[in-house]
Amino acid sequence: MTILERNFDNRNDLIAYVKKLAPWAEGNASPIRGGQTECKKRLINLNAVKYGKTRNYGNGSVSMLSPYINHGVITLNEVRNHVVKDANDTKLIESFVRELGWRDFWSRFAENNQNLLWNDVEDYKTGYASDDYQEELPEDILAGDTGVACIDSFIADLLNTGYVHNHARMYLASYIVHFRQIKWQAGARWFLVHLLDGDVASNNFSWQWVASTFSNKPYIFNLENVDKYFSGIVDTTRSKNRVLDASYPTLHNRLFPNLEVQNG
């Protein structure tokens, strides 16, 4: 039993110390800092009204509080209390509070259904069975070298910072499960290694929501949608994102050939 160091001259010394403690740990440190002080800064800067209007955009007014919530630096209750105390009209902050609700929902569902955290809650609604999906992530995804420019940017965020915009997480999950036909569990495991806010319940059930094993239909997206929300943030050039460059009916028919054909 050893008492570990608490005093460091700078962040690099701290990082070197943790690296020595855990030589097996993947990657480098995130530029996102831990601690109550950082958490409070984010809470003070939080604009829940603006969040509601811009949250789907890559440069939207998101709180980035999730790493702190996940590690218990702050509770859902404390965040909600902070937001409602200044709200004149709850409709304006509904979107933000509802997002907190998603985390509460997943957590409560997990408490009652621990056996479903890593198992399909329902069958896939993609025209495929679970066995039709690959078990492991291929090397190009792990390295962020898929050749799909926007996807590679989102993977770079995951690997370098441990934080990915929520909308981009849905794109990534959809790309992995539906465009590459890989089991959601493989992607969920990978996210949990890297995401600073990686909570098993929220993460895994969100993957299942995208996969359609915990929702009524698979979530898919196309390049036009990425361009609408992330233009100027990631490369949405058509020639560098060909696999995503199609209408929704075309993608639906390509990705789910066993389902009823969609016209459009």
Partner 1 sequence: MADKLLWVHDKALRFGSDFCEANESFKAIHIWDDEYYRTQRYSLKRLVFIYETLLELPLEIIHGNTLDILSKENLDHIVIPYSGDQALKNLFSKIEKIKTVQYLFETSFVHLDRTFEFKRFFKYWNQAKKTAFLSNGDRGA
Where in 181-210 is the site for partner 1 (CB under 8 A)?
A: 189, 192-196, 198-201
DSSP string over 63-128: ---HHHHHTTSS-HHHHHHHHHHT-S-HHHHHHHHHHHHHHHHHHHHHHH-GGGSSS-SS--SSS-
Stretch that binds partner 1, among 70-78, 139-147, 176-184, 246-254 (CB under 8 A): 70-78
- The answer to whether the CB of 179 falls within 8 A of the CB of 255 is yes
Smallest distance from the beta carbon of 65 to partner 1, in angstroms? 13
Comparing CB distances to partner 1, the nearer of 121 and 246 is 121
Comparing CB distances to partner 1, the nearer of 176 and 201 is 201
User: How many Cα atoms sit within 13 Å of 171 on the Cβ side?
Assistant: 29
Residue from 61, 104, 140, 166 touching partner 1 (CB under 8 A): that is 104
Smallest distance from the beta carbon of 66 to partner 1, in angstroms? 12
The yes or no reply on residue 117 touching partner 1 (CB under 8 A) is yes
Smallest distance from the beta carbon of 207 to partner 1, in angstroms? 15
CA angle 117, 165, 43 (to 5 degrees): 95
Residue from 54, 61, 107, 130 touching partner 1 (CB under 8 A): that is 107
- The answer to whether the CB of 191 falls within 8 A of the CB of 201 is no
Measured CA to CA, the distance from residue 169 to residue 189 in angstroms comes to: 14
Stretch that binds partner 1, among 29-37, 169-177, 236-244, 252-260 (CB under 8 A): 29-37
Helical (H) or strand (E) element with 185: helix 184-194
Q: Which of 203, 23, 16, 24 is nearest to 109 (CA)?
A: 203
The yes or no reply on residue 4 touching partner 1 (CB under 8 A) is yes
The yes or no reply on residue 12 touching partner 1 (CB under 8 A) is no
Task: Restricting to residues 240-259, name those near partner 1 by CB under 8 A.
Answer: none
Number of residues that bind partner 1 (CB under 8 A): 74
